[in-house]
Structure 1
């Protein structure tokens, strides 16, 4: 009897005709979605958005799916996420807007797309800076030029009372100084 049981068990383990494998998407869907966001895999992102994964979820790093698309400089994923109701003015990290985050990362080609899709060009972060102030502060000249074409409110002040002209006056970048000296916008 014991030999029969051993034989059956060995047969089942050694000669089974069907193999069942679990893939990570079956067990860890949030992990697969997160990996797709980090890697910029638009097909997998779309699949998980279709399965009702949030376009506004905030991960343990304080980033939203939109933040990953900005970080990866991927306009197609930005448009996909907005189509699935991503908050274009949602807050991430230290109360930054996606537009300010794009400026901080010097993603000059995404500025117009974000504003066209509804990003508030005059949004102020946790210390009152606008995207224009951040562009000046970070010496991101091309971002600044793109922002100025979109007509931001240059009269806004941060919470310490400095406006964008003061930011420009402290800049060591001569191009930035000349942009504000001539008021070329």
Structure 2
């Protein structure tokens, strides 16, 4: 969400395509995050034609932090690049997970079975993530990005904030 916010330049604005290119997220995810910024973050965004303009960042975010997120300064390292899992993150057996199988309709579930994943599709080719979608339960819906081994990579900071990120890891159903 912060990367999308940083992609909106107050003066000239940005199109959905340019935001997608800057962030590496697909256009559908960008559209959903723009709505979340407005609804959950109290950010005022005006759409003029195909261009989105940031009118007011609101009380929740700071532009400096959003710019840092866009540059990758706030991102954790890409977990898949390291052989040792982070503390508190259960190591996953990458050989059991297949992005292609998921995209072909294989059934998946979240590590925490209180959540149900909905896979929207492959992330854009510029993204460090492999899959986009959302997780749902009785309390709401949250946009998600997953790594190529099924690890949850990004979650909305305000939705389901009391759950650790690995609660949303994808596991192929047998």
TM class, shorter-length: under 0.3
- Which structure has the highest strand share of the two? 2
- Which structure has the highest helix share of the two? 1
- TM-score by structure 2 length? 0.24
- TM-score by structure 1 length? 0.23
